[in-house]
Amino acid sequence: MTTTAKERFGRGTAVVTGAAAGIGKGLAQRLGEYGMFVVVADIDTGRAAEVAAQIVESGGRAEGFGVDVADLAQVEALAATVFERYGSVELLINNAGVESSGLLWDIDPQRWQRVMQINVDGVFHCLKSFVPRMIDAGTPACIANLSSVGGLNTVAVQSPYIVSKFAVQAMTECLHQDLSIVGAPIQVSAVVPHSIRSEIFLAAQRAAPTDNPTANAVFAAMQRDNVEKGLDPLDAAAHMLEQIARGDFWVFSDDEMCTAAATRRGRQLIDQNPPSNPRDMLARMGVPLPEGSS
Protein backbone atom coordinates (compact mmCIF):
# COMPACT_ATOMS: atom_id res chain seq x y z
CA MET A 1 0.00 0.00 0.00
CA THR A 2 1.40 3.38 -0.99
CA THR A 3 2.03 5.83 1.82
CA THR A 4 0.84 9.37 1.20
CA ALA A 5 2.78 12.48 2.18
CA LYS A 6 0.16 13.40 4.78
CA GLU A 7 0.48 9.96 6.34
CA ARG A 8 4.26 9.77 6.34
CA PHE A 9 4.91 13.39 7.22
CA GLY A 10 2.07 13.89 9.66
CA ARG A 11 4.37 13.68 12.68
CA GLY A 12 8.01 14.07 13.67
CA THR A 13 10.50 16.81 12.95
CA ALA A 14 11.58 18.19 9.58
CA VAL A 15 14.60 20.39 8.95
CA VAL A 16 14.52 22.44 5.76
CA THR A 17 17.48 24.64 4.80
CA GLY A 18 17.04 27.68 2.60
CA ALA A 19 13.44 27.64 3.81
CA ALA A 20 12.73 31.39 3.89
CA ALA A 21 11.81 31.67 0.21
CA GLY A 22 11.05 29.82 -3.01
CA ILE A 23 11.12 26.03 -3.07
CA GLY A 24 12.30 25.76 0.53
CA LYS A 25 9.44 27.91 1.80
CA GLY A 26 6.92 25.86 -0.15
CA LEU A 27 8.29 22.63 1.30
CA ALA A 28 8.30 24.02 4.84
CA GLN A 29 4.73 25.27 4.55
CA ARG A 30 3.43 21.97 3.15
CA LEU A 31 5.15 19.98 5.88
CA GLY A 32 3.60 22.30 8.46
CA GLU A 33 0.20 21.63 6.95
CA TYR A 34 0.77 17.88 7.10
CA GLY A 35 1.60 18.02 10.80
CA MET A 36 5.39 17.89 11.11
CA PHE A 37 7.26 20.23 13.40
CA VAL A 38 9.25 22.29 10.90
CA VAL A 39 12.69 23.73 11.58
CA VAL A 40 12.84 26.64 9.15
CA ALA A 41 16.56 27.21 8.61
CA ASP A 42 17.89 30.06 6.49
CA ILE A 43 20.78 32.50 6.38
CA ASP A 44 18.16 35.28 6.66
CA THR A 45 17.18 34.94 10.31
CA GLY A 46 14.32 37.43 10.07
CA ARG A 47 12.67 35.79 7.08
CA ALA A 48 13.11 32.35 8.65
CA ALA A 49 11.24 33.59 11.71
CA GLU A 50 8.51 35.05 9.49
CA VAL A 51 7.98 31.77 7.64
CA ALA A 52 7.88 29.86 10.94
CA ALA A 53 5.32 32.36 12.27
CA GLN A 54 3.18 31.91 9.15
CA ILE A 55 3.20 28.14 9.63
CA VAL A 56 2.14 28.56 13.28
CA GLU A 57 -0.59 31.04 12.33
CA SER A 58 -1.94 28.44 9.89
CA GLY A 59 -2.22 25.88 12.68
CA GLY A 60 1.15 24.18 12.30
CA ARG A 61 4.25 23.96 14.46
CA ALA A 62 7.55 25.54 13.51
CA GLU A 63 10.61 27.42 14.67
CA GLY A 64 12.91 29.65 12.66
CA PHE A 65 16.70 29.41 12.88
CA GLY A 66 19.32 31.64 11.31
CA VAL A 67 22.13 29.51 9.89
CA ASP A 68 24.70 29.84 7.14
CA VAL A 69 25.10 26.30 5.83
CA ALA A 70 28.54 27.25 4.50
CA ASP A 71 29.71 27.47 8.14
CA LEU A 72 30.16 23.98 9.62
CA ALA A 73 30.15 25.32 13.18
CA GLN A 74 26.75 26.96 12.66
CA VAL A 75 25.29 23.79 11.14
CA GLU A 76 26.69 21.66 13.94
CA ALA A 77 25.15 24.02 16.49
CA LEU A 78 21.81 23.78 14.69
CA ALA A 79 21.90 19.98 14.69
CA ALA A 80 22.84 19.85 18.38
CA THR A 81 20.02 22.24 19.29
CA VAL A 82 17.40 20.44 17.21
CA PHE A 83 18.22 17.01 18.64
CA GLU A 84 18.42 18.38 22.18
CA ARG A 85 14.98 19.99 21.88
CA TYR A 86 13.11 17.52 19.71
CA GLY A 87 15.00 14.22 20.04
CA SER A 88 14.99 13.16 16.41
CA VAL A 89 14.76 14.34 12.81
CA GLU A 90 12.52 12.34 10.51
CA LEU A 91 13.09 14.45 7.41
CA LEU A 92 16.14 16.51 6.41
CA ILE A 93 15.78 18.58 3.25
CA ASN A 94 19.02 20.17 2.04
CA ASN A 95 17.63 22.92 -0.16
CA ALA A 96 19.80 26.00 0.39
CA GLY A 97 21.41 27.13 -2.85
CA VAL A 98 22.38 30.12 -4.98
CA GLU A 99 22.86 30.81 -8.69
CA SER A 100 25.51 32.79 -10.57
CA SER A 101 25.85 33.95 -14.16
CA GLY A 102 28.73 34.68 -16.50
CA LEU A 103 31.27 33.05 -18.74
CA LEU A 104 33.38 30.53 -16.85
CA TRP A 105 36.67 32.43 -17.13
CA ASP A 106 35.00 35.68 -16.06
CA ILE A 107 33.58 34.32 -12.78
CA ASP A 108 35.00 36.10 -9.76
CA PRO A 109 36.95 33.55 -7.69
CA GLN A 110 35.26 34.68 -4.48
CA ARG A 111 31.83 34.19 -6.06
CA TRP A 112 32.84 30.74 -7.31
CA GLN A 113 33.94 29.80 -3.80
CA ARG A 114 30.75 31.16 -2.26
CA VAL A 115 28.53 29.17 -4.61
CA MET A 116 30.47 26.00 -3.82
CA GLN A 117 30.44 26.73 -0.10
CA ILE A 118 26.64 27.07 -0.05
CA ASN A 119 25.54 24.60 -2.71
CA VAL A 120 28.08 21.81 -2.12
CA ASP A 121 29.77 22.31 1.24
CA GLY A 122 26.42 23.29 2.75
CA VAL A 123 24.93 19.92 1.88
CA PHE A 124 28.02 18.11 3.17
CA HIS A 125 27.94 20.12 6.42
CA CYS A 126 24.31 19.15 7.02
CA LEU A 127 25.04 15.50 6.30
CA LYS A 128 28.12 15.60 8.52
CA SER A 129 26.16 17.10 11.42
CA PHE A 130 22.77 15.40 11.11
CA VAL A 131 23.41 11.90 9.74
CA PRO A 132 25.33 10.51 12.76
CA ARG A 133 22.61 11.81 15.07
CA MET A 134 19.87 10.37 12.83
CA ILE A 135 21.64 7.00 12.81
CA ASP A 136 22.01 7.05 16.61
CA ALA A 137 18.33 7.92 17.03
CA GLY A 138 17.50 4.74 15.13
CA THR A 139 14.15 5.97 13.88
CA PRO A 140 13.11 5.66 10.20
CA ALA A 141 13.97 8.90 8.45
CA CYS A 142 14.56 10.47 5.09
CA ILE A 143 17.15 12.80 3.60
CA ALA A 144 16.29 14.74 0.44
CA ASN A 145 19.00 16.74 -1.30
CA LEU A 146 18.03 19.38 -3.85
CA SER A 147 19.91 18.85 -7.08
CA SER A 148 18.46 20.29 -10.29
CA VAL A 149 17.88 19.61 -13.96
CA GLY A 150 21.14 21.58 -13.99
CA GLY A 151 22.65 18.60 -12.18
CA LEU A 152 21.81 16.41 -15.16
CA ASN A 153 22.54 18.64 -18.14
CA THR A 154 25.14 21.36 -18.66
CA VAL A 155 24.06 24.87 -19.62
CA ALA A 156 26.04 27.87 -20.84
CA VAL A 157 26.75 30.95 -18.65
CA GLN A 158 25.79 29.17 -15.40
CA SER A 159 28.95 27.18 -14.73
CA PRO A 160 29.23 27.62 -10.92
CA TYR A 161 25.64 26.51 -10.37
CA ILE A 162 25.82 23.63 -12.85
CA VAL A 163 29.09 22.32 -11.39
CA SER A 164 27.66 22.55 -7.87
CA LYS A 165 24.47 20.69 -8.75
CA PHE A 166 26.35 17.90 -10.52
CA ALA A 167 28.29 17.57 -7.25
CA VAL A 168 25.11 17.46 -5.18
CA GLN A 169 23.69 14.77 -7.42
CA ALA A 170 26.85 12.67 -7.04
CA MET A 171 26.95 13.28 -3.28
CA THR A 172 23.35 12.11 -2.96
CA GLU A 173 24.03 8.91 -4.86
CA CYS A 174 27.10 8.24 -2.70
CA LEU A 175 25.08 8.92 0.45
CA HIS A 176 22.50 6.39 -0.68
CA GLN A 177 25.22 3.77 -1.09
CA ASP A 178 27.05 4.58 2.16
CA LEU A 179 23.85 4.37 4.22
CA SER A 180 23.10 1.03 2.59
CA ILE A 181 26.45 -0.30 3.82
CA VAL A 182 25.68 0.52 7.46
CA GLY A 183 22.05 -0.58 7.19
CA ALA A 184 20.63 2.66 8.59
CA PRO A 185 16.84 3.06 8.24
CA ILE A 186 17.31 6.30 6.33
CA GLN A 187 15.85 6.78 2.87
CA VAL A 188 17.71 9.05 0.45
CA SER A 189 16.07 11.04 -2.33
CA ALA A 190 17.60 13.17 -5.07
CA VAL A 191 15.21 16.03 -5.74
CA VAL A 192 15.46 17.35 -9.29
CA PRO A 193 13.41 20.53 -9.71
CA HIS A 194 12.75 22.08 -13.10
CA SER A 195 11.28 25.59 -12.93
CA ILE A 196 9.68 26.59 -9.64
CA ARG A 197 8.91 30.24 -9.00
CA SER A 198 11.57 31.93 -6.89
CA GLU A 199 13.94 34.91 -6.83
CA ILE A 200 17.07 32.83 -7.43
CA PHE A 201 18.00 34.57 -10.71
CA LEU A 202 17.34 38.07 -9.38
CA ALA A 203 19.31 37.29 -6.22
CA ALA A 204 22.25 36.09 -8.32
CA GLN A 205 22.31 39.27 -10.38
CA ARG A 206 22.20 41.38 -7.23
CA ALA A 207 24.92 39.43 -5.43
CA ALA A 208 27.29 38.89 -8.37
CA PRO A 209 26.46 41.08 -11.37
CA THR A 210 28.25 40.36 -14.63
CA ASP A 211 29.18 42.68 -17.49
CA ASN A 212 28.61 39.97 -20.08
CA PRO A 213 25.52 40.95 -22.11
CA THR A 214 24.71 37.39 -23.17
CA ALA A 215 24.77 36.11 -19.59
CA ASN A 216 22.59 39.02 -18.45
CA ALA A 217 20.14 38.42 -21.29
CA VAL A 218 19.94 34.71 -20.48
CA PHE A 219 19.25 35.37 -16.80
CA ALA A 220 16.64 38.01 -17.66
CA ALA A 221 14.92 35.50 -19.94
CA MET A 222 15.11 32.76 -17.31
CA GLN A 223 13.65 35.06 -14.67
CA ARG A 224 10.83 36.01 -17.06
CA ASP A 225 10.11 32.36 -17.86
CA ASN A 226 10.30 31.47 -14.18
CA VAL A 227 7.64 34.05 -13.34
CA GLU A 228 5.42 33.21 -16.30
CA LYS A 229 5.81 29.42 -16.48
CA GLY A 230 7.36 28.30 -13.20
CA LEU A 231 5.38 26.06 -10.89
CA ASP A 232 3.85 27.46 -7.73
CA PRO A 233 6.18 26.47 -4.84
CA LEU A 234 3.34 25.01 -2.78
CA ASP A 235 2.05 22.90 -5.66
CA ALA A 236 5.55 21.71 -6.54
CA ALA A 237 6.23 20.90 -2.88
CA ALA A 238 3.11 18.77 -2.63
CA HIS A 239 4.06 16.85 -5.78
CA MET A 240 7.64 16.25 -4.66
CA LEU A 241 6.70 15.28 -1.10
CA GLU A 242 4.37 12.58 -2.43
CA GLN A 243 7.30 11.02 -4.28
CA ILE A 244 9.55 11.24 -1.23
CA ALA A 245 6.81 9.70 0.94
CA ARG A 246 6.48 6.65 -1.31
CA GLY A 247 10.24 6.07 -1.15
CA ASP A 248 11.42 7.27 -4.56
CA PHE A 249 15.11 8.03 -5.05
CA TRP A 250 14.47 10.26 -8.07
CA VAL A 251 12.06 13.06 -7.21
CA PHE A 252 10.84 15.44 -9.92
CA SER A 253 8.94 18.71 -9.69
CA ASP A 254 7.62 18.31 -13.24
CA ASP A 255 7.51 14.68 -14.35
CA GLU A 256 7.48 15.40 -18.08
CA MET A 257 10.16 18.10 -18.14
CA CYS A 258 12.49 16.37 -15.69
CA THR A 259 12.15 13.00 -17.42
CA ALA A 260 13.02 14.73 -20.69
CA ALA A 261 16.12 16.24 -19.05
CA ALA A 262 17.22 12.86 -17.71
CA THR A 263 16.60 11.27 -21.11
CA ARG A 264 18.73 13.91 -22.85
CA ARG A 265 21.59 13.23 -20.49
CA GLY A 266 21.30 9.50 -20.93
CA ARG A 267 21.23 9.81 -24.70
CA GLN A 268 24.27 12.10 -24.67
CA LEU A 269 26.28 9.56 -22.68
CA ILE A 270 25.10 6.54 -24.66
CA ASP A 271 25.87 8.22 -27.98
CA GLN A 272 28.97 9.95 -26.58
CA ASN A 273 27.79 13.26 -27.97
CA PRO A 274 29.36 16.62 -27.08
CA PRO A 275 27.34 19.09 -25.00
CA SER A 276 24.34 20.68 -26.69
CA ASN A 277 24.86 23.75 -28.86
CA PRO A 278 24.17 26.78 -26.64
CA ARG A 279 23.00 28.76 -29.69
CA ASP A 280 19.85 26.62 -29.68
CA MET A 281 19.12 27.68 -26.11
CA LEU A 282 19.76 31.33 -26.93
CA ALA A 283 17.41 31.13 -29.89
CA ARG A 284 14.62 29.59 -27.78
CA MET A 285 15.03 32.38 -25.24
CA GLY A 286 15.13 35.12 -27.87
CA VAL A 287 18.66 36.09 -26.80
CA PRO A 288 20.74 37.49 -29.68
CA LEU A 289 24.05 35.82 -30.46
CA PRO A 290 27.16 37.75 -29.39
CA GLU A 291 28.87 39.70 -32.13
CA GLY A 292 31.45 37.66 -34.01
CA SER A 293 29.88 34.29 -33.12
CA SER A 294 28.82 31.86 -35.78
Sign of CA dihedral 157, 163, 168, 173: positive
Closest to 90 in 3D by CA, of 147, 143, 28 = 143
Q: Active site residue: 9, 34, 130, 161, which one? A: 161
Q: What is the DSSP string of 256-277?
A: HHHHHHHHHHHHHHHHTPPPPP
CB-count exposure of residue 278 (10 Å: 0-12, 13-18, 19+): middle
Query: SS3 for 32-52, per residue?
Result: HHHCCEEEEEECCHHHHHHHH
Is 86 an active-site residue?
no
How is the beta sheet containing 141-146 ordered, strand by strand? 61-66, 37-42, 13-17, 91-94, 141-146, 186-192, 250-252
Residues assigned a catalytic role = 161
